[in-house]
């Protein structure tokens, strides 16, 4: 290997990987740091990379691309994995993989590298998405090669080789493994490895405890166009701005915390905690908008297909033809998902209190409990019921 492009955060794992790649492969390392809305400065990664002897450093603001081309399409499908996980980590990986491959081709690198462990899902996501874009790409996954077996051993390696880690001077305790972007922040490790242990309250960064949330509710109106939020309280916003705004508003009301034991693609169960304020709001509001505008059978078919779509995102098949096929079908349904949804944020809850649309299929004249002036003949229901009951009646005669 002469040159390797590394997905680089400047944190513990990737700081060590730079040195390890240089020593193990005697290669030049190119670092790529993606700003996908993690809420922290990414520029410090430049100084760390330079200190490690890196000459080619890529730091890119991908927030709008992330929100527009990855998060928003996923939410048009109302995607949720195993009934709880809003796929915050999963959906960021295809974008990072895409840029890794593009940069590798641009700088004539021999391989790409990442800091995902051999136990996790991210190794699969990074590599499947990379191979989908470049069949000949070479991948170096240090966690599958080196003899460093724990976060404590990484910290010892950093100390031995003079690699400065942000928390190193403050505490020798191994931290939570965290991942953040516009959609969520995740926490794994430490006491969370015991599924019975309650998370420490000071672990959470984006949301207040629901008990400490304001006693007064906040009302928010979201405007939808073709299944995407385009404005908040009448103010037009870009996809990334929408998510940043909702993260702040919902987080302040204790919305978006989740504690999950999930089934990883590699086979094991894993316990993680997630903060997804904007995503929690987006899922609730989008379903409310669809409830008013989508035909019943189209909506039900979407619900049947959604778990398959969620598995594709979770398992790393974003660029697979089956996901693209499903996306085309989903996007076609969204042509009519236009209008406004009014929400109430209160003490950890997102409550839908109103929805309206020019594409509404709700007919008050037919649905009313009052006199409908002949819009619906209730006698028609008798034949409908008898036809649907025919097979049941025949079975009961046996």
Which of 9, 13, 90, 99 is catalytic? The answer is 13
Question: What 3-state DSSP class applies to 325?
Answer: helix
Give the C-alpha separation, 9 to 29, whole Å.
Answer: 14
**Sign of torsion over alpha carbons 328, 333, 335, 341:** negative
Give the C-alpha separation, 107 to 122, whole Å.
Answer: 24
Which of 15, 35, 122, 179 is catalytic? The answer is 122
Q: What is the DSSP string of 89-113?
A: HHHHHHHHHHHHHHHHHHTT-SEEE
Q: Is 179 part of the annotated catalytic residue set?
A: no
- Would strands 57-61 and 111-113 be described as parallel, antiparallel, or unpaired? unpaired
Which of 97, 113, 177, 186 is catalytic? The answer is 177
Which of 63, 76, 93, 151 is catalytic? The answer is 93
Cβ contacts of 202 within 8 Å, gap of 6 or more: none
Q: Is 377 part of the annotated catalytic residue set?
A: no
Give the C-alpha separation, 111 to 100, whole Å.
Answer: 9
Q: Is 93 part of the annotated catalytic residue set?
A: yes
Q: Is 122 part of the annotated catalytic residue set?
A: yes
Give the C-alpha separation, 9 to 117, whole Å.
Answer: 15
CB-CB neighbours of 176 under 10 Å: 17
| Residues with catalytic roles | 13, 93, 122, 177
């Amino acid at each position: 290997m002469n040159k390797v492009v590394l997905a680089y955060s400047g944190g513990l794992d990737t700081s060590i990987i730079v040195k390890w790649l240089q020593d193990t492969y005697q290669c030049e390392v190119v670092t790529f740091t993606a700003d996908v809305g993690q809420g922290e400065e990414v520029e410090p990664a430049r100084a760390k990379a330079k200190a490690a002897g890196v000459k080619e450093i890529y730091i890119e603001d991908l927030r709008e691309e992330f929100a527009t081309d990855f998060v928003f399409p996923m939410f048009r499908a109302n995607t949720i994995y195993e009934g709880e996980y809003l796929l915050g980590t999963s959906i960021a990986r295809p974008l990072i993989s895409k840029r890794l491959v593009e940069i590798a081709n641009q700088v004539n690198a021999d391989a790409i590298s990442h800091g995902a462990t051999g136990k996790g899902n991210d190794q699969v996501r990074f590599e499947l998405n990379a191979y989908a874009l470049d069949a000949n790409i070479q991948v170096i996954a240090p966690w599958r090669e080196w003899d460093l077996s724990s976060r404590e051993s990484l910290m010892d390696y950093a100390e031995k080789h003079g690699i400065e880690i942000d928390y190193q001077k403050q505490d020798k305790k191994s931290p939570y493994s965290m991942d953040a972007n516009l959609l969520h922040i995740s926490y794994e490790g430490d006491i969370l490895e015991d599924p019975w242990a309650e998370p420490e309250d000071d672990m959470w960064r984006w949301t207040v405890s629901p008990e400490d949330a304001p006693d007064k509710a906040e009302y928010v109106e979201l405007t939808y166009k073709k299944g995407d939020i385009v404005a908040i309280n009448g103010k037009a916003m870009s996809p990334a701005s929408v998510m940043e705004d909702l993260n702040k508003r919902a987080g302040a009301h204790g919305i978006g915390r989740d504690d999950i034991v999930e089934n990883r693609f590699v086979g094991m169960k894993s316990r993680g905690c997630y903060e997804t304020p904007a995503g929690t709001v987006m899922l609730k509001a989008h379903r409310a908008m669809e409830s008013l505008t989508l035909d019943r059978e189209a909506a039900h078919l979407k619900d049947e297909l959604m778990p398959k779509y969620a598995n594709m995102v979770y398992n790393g098949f974003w660029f697979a033809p089956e996901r693209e096929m499903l996306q085309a079908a989903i996007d076609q349904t969204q042509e009519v998902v236009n209008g406004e949804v009014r929400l109430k944020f209160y003490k950890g809850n997102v409550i839908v209190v109103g929805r309206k649309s020019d594409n509404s299929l709700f007919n008050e004249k037919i649905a009313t409990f009052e006199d409908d002036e002949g819009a619906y003949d209730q006698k028609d229901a008798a034949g409908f019921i008898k036809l649907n009951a025919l097979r049941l009646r025949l079975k009961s005669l046996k």
